[in-house]
Amino acid sequence: MTIDIVRIPVLSDNYVWLVHDAASGETVVVDPAVADPVLAEAKARGWTISAIWNTHWHPDHTGGNAEIKAATGCTIFGPAAEAERIPTLDQKIAEGDCVHIGGHAAQVLDVPAHTAGHIAYYLPTANAAFVGDTLFAMGCGRLFEGTADQMFTNMQKLAALPGETRVYCAHEYTQSNGRYALVAEPENKAIVERMAHVDAARARGEATVPTSIADELATNPFMRATSAAQLADRRAAKDSFK
């Protein structure tokens, strides 16, 4: 019962995730910013895309929807609360729903704040969570359509997943997040240690995502915020951090 998860770097810092279940032959794309590199990767692997899972409406997460659907006939799943802003959507989903890849069920989690209807997908049998722009390595999404209270709730919800859960974020923001994390928690040695690895990986041109819930619990100043007020302060500080 193996699930393969392939990272496709696109645009300046987006990651599209291609998820393949060998048993059923099904392939899911999470947040296709664009179509061509995704279709090319699937073709090179001999995989046929059966579904798209969108986390939120932003064009750098849905821009490839129409072209991938036209090319493959796949079904597009995404947040019910953002259906009007994702015109390509086939299936509207929200917390309490499950979506499937072969025999594997992904639980839909509501994580509004970056956008009003943002959702995440938790696939326990693959030990994976696709979190879009809600949780990043050492960071969280900007509060474009929601509040710090909501983001605090989101962080608590994701923090409750098993520590070994692999977290598939939609952007390579780790180094910039880490620079702020060092300032937010100057006493936190785990951040210093992690940043040494991150800086070395980035110098080699390597990705630093996926991360894990355990690593975020140790080093993420937003997941570690002890109140919504503290998260709000940290988010505001990060927004203007250079």
20 is known as an active-site residue: no
- Which one from 20, 61, 104, 118 is the annotated catalytic residue? 61
**Hunting for tokens 């919504």 — which residue is that?**
228
H or E stretch including 158?
helix 148-159
Q: Is 58 assigned a catalytic role?
A: yes
Catalytic position from the list 20, 56, 104, 118: 56
100 is known as an active-site residue: no
Quick check: is 61 catalytic? Answer: yes
Pairing of strands 128-132, 166-169: parallel
Nearer to Zn ion, 85 or 166 (CB): 85
The reply to whether 171 belongs to the active site is: yes
Name, in order, each residue with C-beta under 8 angstroms of 197's C-beta and a sequence gap of 6 or more: none
Cis peptide leading into 210, omega within 30 of 0?
yes
Instruction: Check binding of 185 to Fe ion (CB under 5 A).
Output: no
Cα angle 208, 212, 213; round to 5: 140
- Interface pick for Zn ion out of 16, 39, 58, 194 (rule CB under 5 A): 58
Binding window for Fe ion (CB under 5 A); candidates: 2-10, 58-66, 114-122, 200-208: 58-66
CB of 56 to Zn ion, least distance (A): 6
Nearest of 181, 157, 176 to residue 167 by alpha carbon? 157
CB of 82 to Zn ion, least distance (A): 11
**Closest C-alpha to 41, from 80, 64, 67, 8:** 8
Residues in the chain: 242
Cβ atoms 33, 57 nearer than 8 A: no
Least CB distance to Fe ion at residue 151 (A): 15
Region near Zn ion per CB under 5 A, out of 18-26, 33-41, 94-102, 131-139? 131-139
Could you tell me which stretch among 126-134, 186-194, 195-203, 222-230 binds Fe ion (CB under 5 A)? 126-134
Among the listed residues 41, 60, 172, 215, the single contact to Fe ion using CB under 5 A: 60
Let me know if 90 is a catalytic residue.
no
Count CB neighbours of 55 within 10 A. Answer: 28
133 binds Fe ion per the rule CB under 5 A: yes
133 scored as a contact of Zn ion (CB under 5 A):
yes
Amino acid letter, 199: D
- For residues 66 and 36, give the distance between their C-alpha atoms in angstroms, rounded to a whole number: 11
Active-site residue flag, 197: no
60 vs 185, beta carbon nearer Fe ion: 60
Q: Give residues in contact with Fe ion (CB under 5 A).
A: 60, 133
Q: What are the residue numbers of the active site?
A: 56, 58, 60-61, 114, 133, 171
